[in-house]
Amino acid sequence: MTYTALAAAAYLHHIELQSSNPERLAKFYGEAMQMQVAKQGEIYICRGPQRRLIISKGTDKKLGLGAFACRDGEALDAMRARADKEGLGPQDLASPLMDRAFAVTDPDGNKIVFGLAKADPEGLKGLKGPTQHLTLATHDPEAIEKFYSGKLGFAVADRVRKPNGEVATIFTRSNHEHHTLACFRSDRTGIDHHSYEAGEWNVIRDWCDHLATLDIQLMWGPGRHGPGNNLFIFIVDPDGNWIEISAELEIIHDRPVKEWPHAERTLNLWGKGILRS
Ligand SMILES: [Fe+2]
């Protein structure tokens, strides 16, 4: 196993969401997630401290792309060479947020990008919450694992397994964070949710107080996930996308893959779980 993505210290730099009403969605992220919003041609670019989101015109709740930044040019070269060798046909991609970006397509048709982060504008203000992980919905978690782990060199952190042996959830990482890319078995494909890492419990409190001023209710949580051991809250944007704000996500240096039962308690050690399948 060659951990090319892990060696690249790749981190989730931004995602792109499609929307039938990009203006409304951008306004929501600007307010709720404390991001500056700029219209650039046909897209909206939303930026807060260490968090970025692109919104383009399209189908509600459809992932435009998920973009990972590599630590340097050498690591990006290795990612591209790996993608090429694995027959993924990496394609150059012009990105407003990254240099030397290339895209590949996963078995569900999700566009996944690797590149080098362009410098963020100075003076971005807001609560702590870097873009941290992307979670997909899929009919076939094993195929997703084969792609991200087997072909791109993400490392599997944990798996959730049903009593019949079927894998329900896979958590994979491309740096020391427990997961940067995960997937849930589902009756649909595309995005399940994306997450911002607030780091500490008290910052989640501050996010909740901020969301309350906007009359945005929590959809789930506060709770603590089993895999990753992270504290979480979830809210929903006007298109129906799930947004997670997390803290205390496990940092992995070296440990075996752990398997978890497919149970409410795995999803939330504290209370109600939302099982996707
Ligand atoms: Fe998550």
Please enumerate in sequence order all residues whose Cβ is within 8 A of that of 133, keeping only pairs 6 or more positions apart, or say none. 12, 177, 179, 180, 181, 182, 194, 195, 197, 246
CA 35 to ligand 1 center in whole angstroms: 20
227 C-alpha to ligand 1 centroid (Å): 10
Distance 171 CA to ligand 1 centre (A): 9
Ligand 1: centre distance to CA 194 (Å): 6
Nearest CA-CA partner of 62 in 244, 192, 181: 192
Whole-Å CA distances, 140 to 95, 220, 228, 231: 29, 25, 22, 27
Alpha carbon of 164 to ligand 1 centroid (Å) = 24
Q: Output the CA 244–ligand 1 centroid distance in Å.
A: 6
- Chain centroid offset of residue 270 CA: 23
Q: For 4-117, which CATH class?
A: alpha beta
Q: How far is the CA of 204 from the centre of ligand 1 (A)?
A: 14
CA of 182 relative to ligand 1 center, distance in Å: 8
Ligand 1 centroid to Cα of residue 243, in Å, is 8
**What does the block give as tokens for 152?**
């791109």
DSSP one-letter string for 184-207: EE-SS-EEEEEEEEEESHHHHHHH
User: Residue 133 Cα, ligand 1 centroid: separation in angstroms?
Assistant: 7
Alpha helices (runs of H) in the chain, residue ranges in sequence order = 4-7, 22-32, 73-85, 141-145, 201-213, 264-267
Pairing state of beta strands 190-199 and 91-92?
A: unpaired
Quick check: 201 and 231 in contact, CB under 8 A?
A: yes
- Ligand 1 centroid vs 41 CA: distance in angstroms? 31
**pTM for the model:** 0.98
Interatomic CA distance for residues 217 and 49, integer angstroms:
23
Q: Please list the pLDDT of the chain residue by residue as tens digits (277 residues).
A: 899 999 999 999 999 999 999 999 999 999 999 999 999 999 999 999 999 999 999 999 999 999 999 999 999 999 999 999 999 999 999 999 999 999 999 999 999 999 999 999 999 999 999 999 999 999 999 999 999 999 999 999 999 999 999 999 999 999 999 999 999 999 999 999 999 999 999 999 999 999 999 999 999 999 999 999 999 999 999 999 999 999 999 999 999 999 999 999 999 999 998 888 7
Position 24, amino acid: R
How many whole angstroms from 179 Cα to the centroid of ligand 1?
8
Task: Classify burial at 169, counting beta carbons within 10 Å of its beta carbon; exposed 0-12, middle 13-18, buried 19 or more.
Answer: buried
What is the predicted pLDDT for the residue at 277? 79
Beta-bridged to residue 223, according to DSSP, are 232
Residue that has been written with the tokens 């709720």 in this structure? 32
CATH 3.10.180.10 residue ranges in the chain? 4-117, 131-267
Ligand 1 centroid to residue 225 C-alpha, Å: 9
- Residue-level pLDDT at 161: 97
Distance 1 CA to ligand 1 centre (A): 26
CATH 1.10.287.370 describes domain 131-267: no
